[in-house]
Amino acid sequence: MSQVQPYSLFTDFDIDLFKAGKHFRLYEKLGAHLIEVDGVKGTYFAVWAPSARSVSVVGDFNYWIQGEHLLQVRWDSSGIWEGFIPGLEKGTTYKYKIQSNNGGVITEKADPFALYCEHPPHTASVIWDLNYDWKDKNWMETRKGHNDLDKPYSVYEVHLGSWKRNAEGKFLTYLELATELVNYVKETGFTHVEFMPIMEYPYDPSWGYQLVGYFAPTSRFGKPQDFMVLVDKLHQAGIGVILDWVPSHFPEDSHGLGFFDGSNLFEHPDRRKGYHPDWKSLVFNYGRNEVRAFLISNAIFWLQQYHVDGLRVDAVASMLYLDYSRNEGEWEPNIFGGRENLDTISFLKDFNEAVYSNFEGVQTIAEESTSFSMVSRPTFVGGLGFGMKWMMGWMHDTLEYFQKETVYRKYHQNDLTFSMTYAFSENFMLPLSHDEVVYGKKSIAGRMPGDEWQKFANLRLLYGYMFTHPGSKLLFMGSEFGQSAEWNFEGSLDWHLLQYDLHEGIKKTITDLNALYKTYPALHEKQFSPEGFEWINYSDHQNAVMSYIRKGHNSKEDVVVVCNFTQVVREKYRIGLPQKGKLEEIFNSDASVYGGSGVLNSSKLVIEASPYDGREYSVELTLPPLSVTVYKFS
């Protein structure tokens, strides 16, 4: 094997951008790149290690011996080491062996920009390319029409390792999922899939939230091109792809980013800012320009190279606050004496501006659980710039309410109505996510009170309420058919439950709710605007009934929603309406096809010129037990 030859992919402009934290396509320069130099094929390597005394590329090709293939440091104080090794081919495993200036410490690290990694527990990087013939041109040209904020956005959250396993209990591959998962999501009608982190991670119980290979799809399920096939097939089926993205922290694994070149390179050197006590992990130094460029380049990478349609940013609250999960004395206020992390705020604004200025028809979504203001407002008006934010308050209050026996619900209706006091302060997504079905919380179905029939009726009611409430939707896998047990990442979903009518009925309910959400513009066109919602009556606590109108751009297409939160059938229940004509029932969660009792409003209901609920007109309805009914004007 030839020795390292001098070579560079960097221009002076690249280096200036990198130092300024504004180079957002670093993956085109740093890492391992298969190239040809003077007619000779090989691999160009570049790694950022400013505290290094020497950097060697080691692998099977040189028996992992340090010093055999030494990279050269650039003259421009960028801290980048680089060089070309002739003959190194695709599939070669490698690492960087770094001797530090800080006391001669030697670290052996995976490539931060590796495109492919060995299957854990092996930890080496693999020389690879991203050549692929995409077939999703139609989706990419039209996805703005799928992803805009006035379009239906119903997300199926998936953990690839436990969605389904084969007969031997092994993972399905990306290629197998490209058939089975795609067909299932298309059948159930979700508009988007959100993958829990698929970037390479060493430890299965972390569910992927402790990353070491930020630029590599995990090899657990196949090769990078296999993951491209999965994304491609989803797009061809008209389904968008969202990735969980974790810029909040990373593990201390010896081959990872921590103490990379013998110094605190990626993590903040102050332990009060650079260590996360909850997850025993390291926190990025958001004030360091090169680190910001690394992270934003990573976001751009998945959107550009893998045609991803959105990024859901994990644990934003932990990034925003200096005192997050820290006791007094364990954190230091910012320069203004506050608890906000100013570097993080600046970084998140830069991240969102870079994403939205480079890609049309994508969304960024913040998992942010506090009252931090303007998370999903544009940066030019002072916001963080996200497209959406998870509505954690809605999730908590709604599940608290639904866990209560129906006899007590009349005392707690404010748990539900409260969400409308702040529903339009952000562009909210309603999440019933993986976090709600683990650690003893029970499954969503398992939280429902009553006997078996009531549990499933409550679950259908919950989902009907969710899909008619303003905001986009997210549902964790298994919840769509009423999985009974808590989620277990080490196994498969309990698909055998679908042989039972009540579970199949939940799946049918979700399928029809997805169709309803997509079909009726009033349920999505103004889902983030107060103009899209109007209460009819929120104060009928005694009967535990709520009624409201959802509105789109055309008032003739408004829909009326009535929720009955008890098992009492309410006949001749009157609600006020703003117009005359007729009402036609278009969804009823108590329909027998879903496993309900079949109490329906089957014929068109005549709206009377009889004032009620402060409106000029009204109509009498029959409210099925534990139900959501939806009506259109006709």
DSSP per position, 514-575: HHHHHH-GGGTTTTTSGGGEEEEEEEETTTTEEEEEE--SSGGG-EEEEEE-SS--EEEEEE
- Mean local confidence (pLDDT), 566-592: 96
- Convert the pLDDT of each residue in 32-41 to its tens digit: 999 999 999 9
- Convert the pLDDT of each residue in 142-168 to its tens digit: 999 999 999 999 999 999 999 999 989
d(C-alpha 77, C-alpha 112), whole Å: 20
- Mean local confidence (pLDDT), 608-630: 97
Give, as one character, the DSSP assignment of residue 225.
H
- Determine the pLDDT at residue 361: 95
- Determine the pLDDT at residue 533: 98
- Determine the pLDDT at residue 559: 98
pLDDT score of 104 more than 90: no
CA distances from 620 to 91, 200, 570, 605, 624 (A): 70, 57, 10, 8, 13
- Mean local confidence (pLDDT), 57-61: 96
Q: What is the mean pLDDT of the chain?
A: 96
pLDDT score of 632 more than 80: yes
**180 CB neighbour count, 10 Å cutoff:** 12
- Determine the pLDDT at residue 120: 92
Share of the chain above pLDDT 70, in %: 100
d(C-alpha 109, C-alpha 106), whole Å: 10
Vertex 23: Cα angle to 130 and 367 (nearest 5)? 80
Instruction: Tell me if the pTM is above 0.85.
Output: yes
- Mean local confidence (pLDDT), 210-238: 98
- Determine the pLDDT at residue 1: 53
Share of the chain above pLDDT 90, in %: 96
- Determine the pLDDT at residue 202: 95
- Mean local confidence (pLDDT), 372-391: 97
Domains and their CATH numbers in the chain: 150-390 (3.20.20.80), 530-633 (2.60.40.1180)
- Determine the pLDDT at residue 569: 97
pLDDT score of 477 more than 80: yes
**133 CB neighbour count, 10 Å cutoff:** 7
Q: Note if the bond before 121 is cis, omega within 30 degrees.
A: yes
- Determine the pLDDT at residue 149: 96
- Determine the pLDDT at residue 329: 87
Give, as one character, the DSSP assignment of residue 239.
-
d(C-alpha 317, C-alpha 338), whole Å: 15
- Mean local confidence (pLDDT), 185-206: 97
Catalytic positions, please?
Answer: 314, 367
d(C-alpha 368, C-alpha 425), whole Å: 14
Instruction: Identify the band that residue 103 occupies on the pLDDT scale cut at 50, 70 and 90.
Output: confident
- Mean local confidence (pLDDT), 319-329: 93
d(C-alpha 613, C-alpha 618), whole Å: 8
Q: 72: which residues sit within 8 A by CB, 6+ positions away?
A: 4, 6, 81, 82, 83
H or E segment to which residue 281 belongs: strand 281-282
Sign, Cα dihedral of 536, 423, 303, 161: negative
Token pair listed for 381: 């008006």
Distance of alpha carbon 464 from the chain centroid: 22
Instruction: Identify the band that residue 338 occupies on the pLDDT scale cut at 50, 70 and 90.
Output: very high
- Determine the pLDDT at residue 2: 67
Q: Judge residue 614's burial from the number of C-beta atoms within 10 Å of its C-beta, 0-12 exposed, 13-18 middle, 19 or more buried.
A: exposed
- Convert the pLDDT of each residue in 243-301 to its tens digit: 999 999 999 999 999 999 999 999 999 999 999 998 899 999 999 999 999 999 999 99
